[in-house]
Chain A
Amino acid sequence: MADPYETLGVERTASQEEIRKAYRRLAKKLHPDLNPGNAAAEARFKEASSAYSLLSDAEKRRRFDAGEIDESGAEQQRQRYYRDYAGAGAGADDAYANPSGFADFAETDDILAELFRRQAEQARRAPGADLYFRLAIDFLDAVNGATRRLTLPQGGSIDVTIPPGVQDGQILRLRGKGAPSRGEGKPGDALVEISIRPHRHFTRDGDDIHLELPISLKEAVLGARVRVPTPSGSVVLTIPKGSNNGSVLRLKGKGARRRAGGQGDEFIRLKVVLPSGPEPELESFLAGWTPQRDDDPRRDMQP
């Protein structure tokens, strides 16, 4: 790297003010964003900036003059400039697009004018931006589908149709409900990210619904017909005789709608619950009872 005094074109005895003025003069000429078509400007500008950041700091300048540090002690400038984003890669929804520099060339009838017209129209017809929203919905609304109102920040509201089976984190696209176009284009879309509130009893695993169902000792041993909740209402379920704790029963088609069509299932895990208070008859029966089977529930735990 060259000597910073030389880079800025000042004497070694220059005052801080003179250094600042010299840098400004160079920066105005060399700044990459003021020379969008000049690739070489960036290197020269960086050199001037490094020189300036070294000499404008009184302490650093003193140390440099004393030979304690060299030019490479200067800070590095960032790498990207606005011109790197404003080029041909900029999208049609570029907010800063301005055809006022050439709109008059679009007036004539020939092929080149047509190109200018197209550029101007791209800016004018550019659609509005997409807007992003988050909507929290209830578990059952997600499973069964619903319509919910979303209030917009700019006033007004939109009704969002929740498709049955929508997943947590899914993004719904509502066409034309985004920001209006800056020119004469279509409005953008509203992108609504769905978050699903948990349910008291149900949990969801993909398209299947899971439920833990408490049953009494009597229902478990003797079997029973019990009412169980499902997302679409309650149904009567037959608990088989001798159902053990943790057994799982399946209700086909009582889950959430599948993306590809059809329904998931509801899985019911039985939880056998003892009576909530003392039952003297039960206790005295069990005290005298010898089961037919020699079950040891802790058999696998023997040392």
Chain B
Amino acid sequence: MIISKVEFLVRSDLDQQTLDVWLAEEWLMPRLAADEPQFSEADLARAQLIHELKRDLGVNDEGVGVILGLLDQVHGLRRALADVLRTSRAHPASDDEADRS
């Protein structure tokens, strides 16, 4: 579902300037369209997370970028791991010695 910029600003409790900064920092990376960025529910949840990191957890701006980067790696790992588990459950033979490194 696409959320317009106006709706996004309201629901994420942001002002235009702050949003511009977050976009420049690439903390948020919505799709681009002809007139303006198009936000998703995932972008909204990510904005909420950024608020909470700064407001509730006391993370400074530099820290936010580092945390989001590591968090994205964690989610990448989780997906890869889920994939591996799914595949090895479907094909038990691959439980054989796989580590040759």
Contact = CB atoms under 8 A, between A and B. Distances in A.
Q: Do A and B come from one complex?
A: yes
Interface of A: 23-24, 27-28, 31, 33-34, 36-37, 49, 78, 80-88, 90, 94-102, 105, 107-112, 115-116, 118-119, 123, 129-134, 152-154, 179
B52 interface: yes
Contact of A24 (B35, B57, B68): B57
A153 B73 contact: no
A133 B42 contact: no
B48 A82 contact: yes
B42 A179 contact: no
A134 B80 contact: no
Contacts, number: 129
B33 interface: yes
B76 A129 contact: no
B72 A97 contact: yes
B79 A88 contact: yes
A82 B71 CA distance: 10
Contacts of A129: 31-32
Interface in B33-55: 33-35, 38, 40-42, 45-46, 48-49, 52
B78 to A, nearest CB: 6
Contacts of B48: 78, 81-82
Given A37-B78, A152-B34, A82 B98 contact: no
B75 A109 contact: no
Contact of B41 (A85, A123, A153): A85
Interface of B: 2, 29-35, 38, 40-42, 45-46, 48-49, 52, 56-58, 68-69, 71-80, 82-84, 87-88, 94, 98, 100-101
A179 B30 CA distance: 12
Contact of A99 (B49, B76, B88): B76
Given A80-B45, A100-B76, A133 B84 contact: no
B30 to A, nearest CB: 8
A112 B31 CA distance: 32
B72 to A, nearest CB: 4
Top 9 closest pairs, chain A to chain B, by CB = A85-B42, A101-B73, A98-B72, A95-B29, A86-B75, A132-B33, A129-B31, A119-B80, A82-B45
A202 to B, nearest CB: 29
Classify the secondary structure of B's interface with A: helix
A42 to B, nearest CB: 13
Contacts of B78: 36-37, 87-88
Given A81-B49, A85-B42, A102-B80, A133 B33 contact: yes
A87 B73 contact: no
23 contacts: A24-B56, A24-B57, A27-B52, A37-B78, A80-B41, A94-B42, A96-B29, A97-B72, A97-B76, A98-B72, A101-B73, A101-B80, A102-B76, A102-B77, A107-B101, A111-B87, A111-B94, A112-B84, A115-B83, A130-B31, A131-B31, A132-B33, A153-B35
Contacts of B74: 36, 101
Nearest to B79: A88
Contact of B79 (A24, A82, A87, A105): A87
A38 to B, nearest CB: 12
Contacts of B82: 88
A60 to B, nearest CB: 17
Contacts of A152: 34
B34 A132 contact: yes
A116 B84 CA distance: 8
A86 B84 contact: no
